Structure 1
Amino acid sequence: MRFNKLDLNLLVALDALLTEQSISRAAEKTHLSQSAMSNALARLREYFDDELLVQVGRKMEPTSRAESLKDPVRDILVRVEASVATQPEFVPAQSSRLFRLLISDYTLMTVIPHLQKLAYRQAPGVQFDFRPQTTQPQRALERGEADLLIIPKDFCSANHPSEKLLEEVFCSVLWSESHLATGELTEDRYVAAGHVVVQPGDGRALEDWFMQQSGVKRRAEVSSFSFLSQAHLVVGTHRIATMHRRLAMMAKRFLPITIRDLPVPVPRMEQLVQWHEYKTNDPGLMWLRKLLKDAVMEMDSAH
């Protein structure tokens, strides 16, 4: 099929080339031979009257024209997939669909085990690919590289629909033999202590964002990429970790830690599930979003 003399099949090749910036990797991604992908690039260069990708040392770099095409081309393909490839109905018991979710290890350890149990009962053939959140995970959602994004409300994209999944409170976690575990944990003691913090892909801890609004400053002595690791990293020290309470309660089952209420103001975290606007009526994702809510209810009733 052609549009304005452009073979629309070439858009798939263009998207792969702009994403991978490599003829061999783009060919592998689209299940084409390298010669076929090279031929596609030549035709694209002729149509756009631009090199699109140029060799710089051992790498291929996109031209400014290619950069301007990257998001619009991906948007077209996501729209086509949502409109054409999505099945009109979803039968869980008969499905072998793969769902790709961008989540933190907090979500992986708390909600996902319950989701898996419920999903296996209803749809044993359904597959899941849980991927870590990196810097700007919204970009992966917008590019159709993930089906759902589970993320705090403050980090959601304003361009796509979302709904609240759960609320979470923060607490202080201490080694049970720490001097901070005895007596009242006052704001002064909290601020004076060293802290174990989590810095996700964007490099900023969520609770820091809240605290700075209240003028509270912490001294971070240890930083990690994992929310679950915080409880482990306070053991044997006099440091404090500010953790999600659900996760802290899980860690308390097997670690010598004490949980205290926070002596500083930190609002509840609203955890949202978000999806691409083109996939709002996707029957499979509607089923999965409902199942996520059921998983939260089961998780909290178990506790």
Structure 2
Amino acid sequence: MADPDFNLLVALDALLAEGSVVNAARRLGLSDSAMSRTLARLRDATGDPLLVRAGRGLVPTLRAIQLRARVHDLADEVRAALRPAAAIDIAGLERTFALRASESFIEVFAARLVSRVTAEAPGVLLRFAPRTDRDAQALRDGRIDLEIGVHAETAPELKVQKLIGDRLVGAVRDGHPLMLREAVTADRYAACGHVVTSRSGRARDQVDDALAALGLSRKVVAVVPSFPAALAIVRASDLVALVSERQVASGITGVRTFPLPVPMKDVTVTQMWHPRQDADPAHRWLRGQVLAACRGTDDGAPSGMSCW
């Protein structure tokens, strides 16, 4: 079977967008007769009339309606692939970027990121969307520009870059009985009441597996969706929480932290995006700003650390 003529893709995009042979011809700089011949070839290739007569005009068939959005995206990708990336004026950039991130990320890094972006591109608006789910469709259809967080698994086509490493530590209120002795042992830790952070509402996590290996278990009293919520409960109770070490690195009033007495895996925070935005200069600049804000550097790609 012969390879398809990819020029037909651009012609089909114009025909479906204009709904008119004359207008599509004008859009592509062709004669009306040349566009009519192209429409005939498209009908042969697709096995569908695509545009049919309705009164004095043309209307798309059901197949054409189904193809319209997909063909437009494909044509855009072809044009982008065959066009050199243009340099952009970051200082004059006017654009809104949607970032889906956890409350913890926003609390720790958003101020630094916003400050960097505002200084370089005052016309850029950052819209932080809550991580209520991890559906990759929002990245695929462009509703989200970047997904930031801890990702156990991702959709195979998405691009992923490590931002920072982190680890979990225990957190209790000032004066908590657990901190009155020097060593926080696994037995003493397990004997406390616990608040668990889980967006999915699960009360069990890797701490329970580590305790079970020692023949221990703990009592979970509350499950909350974010580290800030867990810290608020900890400050007002005798419960113990697990929180990001970076979350409390600068100190949290009324809270003390301690290394966990059981082995835990380190946490990796990444940013993900759809491949269609990979070569976009503005999007690349944004990714660099996020990377630099997370790592506390003055540029978007520290030497030797451009992609952990």
Give the alignment's TM-score, normalised by structure 1.
0.69
Q: CA, structure 1 residues 261+215, in 2 after alignment: closer, same or farther (shift >3 Å)?
A: same
Q: CA, structure 1 residues 3+150, in 2 after alignment: closer, same or farther (shift >3 Å)?
A: same
1:278 aligned residue (270, 276, 279): 276
Q: CA, structure 1 residues 237+213, in 2 after alignment: closer, same or farther (shift >3 Å)?
A: closer
What is residue 224 of structure 1 aligned with on the other side? 224
Mapped to 1, the partners of 2:208 and 2:69 lie a distance apart of 38
Mapped to 1, the partners of 2:248 and 2:267 lie a distance apart of 15
Q: Classify the secondary structure of the residue corresponding to 2:165.
A: strand
Q: CA, structure 1 residues 240+79, in 2 after alignment: closer, same or farther (shift >3 Å)?
A: farther
Alignment of 1:81-160 (within 5 A): 88-160=86-158
Say whether residues 1:199 and 2:198 are aligned partners.
yes
More displaced stretch, 241-250 vs 291-300: 291-300
Structure 1 residue 112: Cα displacement? 1.7
Mapped to 2, the partners of 1:74 and 1:133 lie a distance apart of 27
Mapped to 1, the partners of 2:72 and 2:230 lie a distance apart of 41
Q: CA, structure 1 residues 83+48, in 2 after alignment: closer, same or farther (shift >3 Å)?
A: closer
Structure 1 residue 78: Cα displacement? 5.4
Mapped to 2, the partners of 1:191 and 1:178 lie a distance apart of 14
Mapped to 2, the partners of 1:173 and 1:74 lie a distance apart of 50
Deviation by residue 1:20-74 (Cα, 9 ceiling, x = unmatched): xxxxxxxxxxxxxxxxxxxxxxx77x6159xx9xxxxxxxxxxxxxxxx7xx987
Q: CA, structure 1 residues 176+299, in 2 after alignment: closer, same or farther (shift >3 Å)?
A: farther
Mapped to 2, the partners of 1:220 and 1:47 lie a distance apart of 55
The one-letter code of the counterpart of 1:212 is D
Q: More helix by proportion, 1 or 2?
A: 1
What is residue 65 of structure 1 aligned with on the other side? none
The one-letter code of the counterpart of 1:169 is R
Greater Rg, structure 1 or structure 2? Answer: 2
The one-letter code of the counterpart of 2:194 is H
Mapped to 1, the partners of 2:142 and 2:158 lie a distance apart of 12
What is residue 47 of structure 1 aligned with on the other side? 62
Structure 1 residue 212: Cα displacement? 3.3
Q: Classify the secondary structure of the residue corresponding to 2:209.
A: helix
What is residue 189 of structure 1 aligned with on the other side? 188
Q: CA, structure 1 residues 89+210, in 2 after alignment: closer, same or farther (shift >3 Å)?
A: farther
Query: 5+ unaligned residues in a row in structure 2: which ranges?
Result: 1-9, 20-58, 299-308
Mapped to 2, the partners of 1:110 and 1:73 lie a distance apart of 43
Mapped to 1, the partners of 2:126 and 2:134 lie a distance apart of 21
Structure 1 residue 105: Cα displacement? 0.8
In the alignment, is the contact (CA less than 8 A) between 1:78 and 1:144 conserved in 2?
no
Say whether residues 1:247 and 2:247 are aligned partners.
yes
Mapped to 2, the partners of 1:157 and 1:127 lie a distance apart of 27
2:256 aligned residue (243, 258, 266): 258
In the alignment, is the contact (CA less than 8 A) between 2:163 and 2:270 conserved in 1?
yes
Q: CA, structure 1 residues 175+161, in 2 after alignment: closer, same or farther (shift >3 Å)?
A: same
What is residue 265 of structure 2 aligned with on the other side? 267
Mapped to 1, the partners of 2:13 and 2:283 lie a distance apart of 35
Q: Classify the secondary structure of the residue corresponding to 1:189.
A: helix
Deviation by residue 1:152-178 (Cα, 9 ceiling, x = unmatched): 141433321111100111100001122
Q: CA, structure 1 residues 140+181, in 2 after alignment: closer, same or farther (shift >3 Å)?
A: same
What is residue 57 of structure 1 aligned with on the other side? none
Q: Classify the secondary structure of the residue corresponding to 2:126.
A: strand
The one-letter code of the counterpart of 1:199 is S
Q: CA, structure 1 residues 267+278, in 2 after alignment: closer, same or farther (shift >3 Å)?
A: same
What is residue 14 of structure 1 aligned with on the other side? none
Q: Classify the secondary structure of the residue corresponding to 2:104.
A: helix
Aligned length: 243
Give the alignment's TM-score, normalised by structure 2.
0.68
The one-letter code of the counterpart of 2:138 is A
Mapped to 1, the partners of 2:173 and 2:72 lie a distance apart of 51
Query: 5+ unaligned residues in a row in structure 1: which ranges?
Result: 11-42, 53-68
In the alignment, is the contact (CA less than 8 A) between 1:115 and 1:291 conserved in 2?
yes
Mapped to 1, the partners of 2:120 and 2:242 lie a distance apart of 37
Structure 1 residue 106: Cα displacement? 1.2
